[in-house]
Amino acid sequence: MVSVIITTFNRRSYVKAAVESVLAQDYADMEIIVVDDGSDDGSQEELAGLPVRYVRKENGGISSARNAGIVLAQGDYIAFLDVDDLWKADKLSTQMSRMREADALISYTDEVWIRNGRRVNQGKRHRKYSGMIYEHCLPLCIISPSSVVIHRSVFKDVGTFNESMPVCEDYDLWLRIACRYPVLFIPKPLIIKHGGHEDQLSRAYEGMDRFRIDSMARMLENGSLTQAQREATVRELEKKCRVYVNGARKRGKVDEAEYYRTLPGRWFPNDG
């Protein structure tokens, strides 16, 4: 069984369509858990009569909502759907079949991107890969949470979403997974990702790379990397720190710039 976790916070206009895209799946063995992270817009009313397990919790952020869903999940596999995204009808059946064939514990799919109502193409830097893809995950998040299916044993090994991270929490989890497990990529666009909303989390924080930098620093400290993975992490860390330091200096954040200037020196000499 696949436990499908949909998290929402004041997205009443999206939640019903998201649920219906899961109900339209041609894969029957699943449960749907909607975790409402403290909405006050009447989101629950949109779900009346739909066969979902609705759970409302105090607002704590998307990581805490996803983690609450993982705790409640009864399936052997976990899938996530961001409330403003949609699944195509053969999403789960395709993934589960391919995962069985490949004996894979985690897979993700290609996606259709919609920005402000218009379809856009993905850039070369968003290219997706199969196998031991840790190094490819370092520059940016290439795995969409809405596209993954993960065997629950993986979470027991690497942990769940980091609730201290307001954004880039998915990037952080994928690093922990990809350094240990091969990840199966299915080159078929099985989800529709919508972007461009005014209230997107990525618009609420400047200097997003500081969260990725902190994730890489934790990876270097926790001792889980191979030598090759460690070297790749240090290279990407230095690159991101240099860019971030320049931005922090321009914003007049001298102390912050100095912290990130010296951070790579924990792992190799840095002349700034």
User: Chain centroid to CA 180: how far?
Assistant: 17
pLDDT of res. 196: 66
CATH of 2-198, one of 3.90.550.10, 3.90.1300.10, 3.10.150.10, 3.40.50.620: 3.90.550.10
Bridge pairing between strands 53-56 and 30-36: parallel
Task: Give the residue extent of every domain in the chain.
Answer: 2-198, 209-266
Q: Where in the chain does DSSP place strands (E)?
A: 2-8, 30-36, 53-56, 77-82, 86-87, 106-115, 118-120, 149-151, 184-195
Cross-strand pairs, 87: 191
- Residue 136 confidence (pLDDT): 97
- Please give the pLDDT value at position 148: 98
Tokens of 151: 């065997």
Q: Over the stretch 140-181, which tens digit does the pLDDT of each residue have?
A: 999 999 999 999 999 999 999 999 999 999 999 999 999 999
Please compute the mean of the pLDDT values over residues 62-66 and round it to a whole number: 97
CA dist 66 and 52 (Å) reads 16
Mean pLDDT of 48-64: 97
Q: Give the predicted TM-score (pTM) of the model.
A: 0.92
Which of 116, 140, 262 is closest to 193 using CA atoms? Answer: 116
pLDDT of residue 270: 46
Distance in angstroms (rounded) separating the CA atoms of residues 1 and 75:
5
pLDDT value for 174 = 98
At 82 the pLDDT is 96
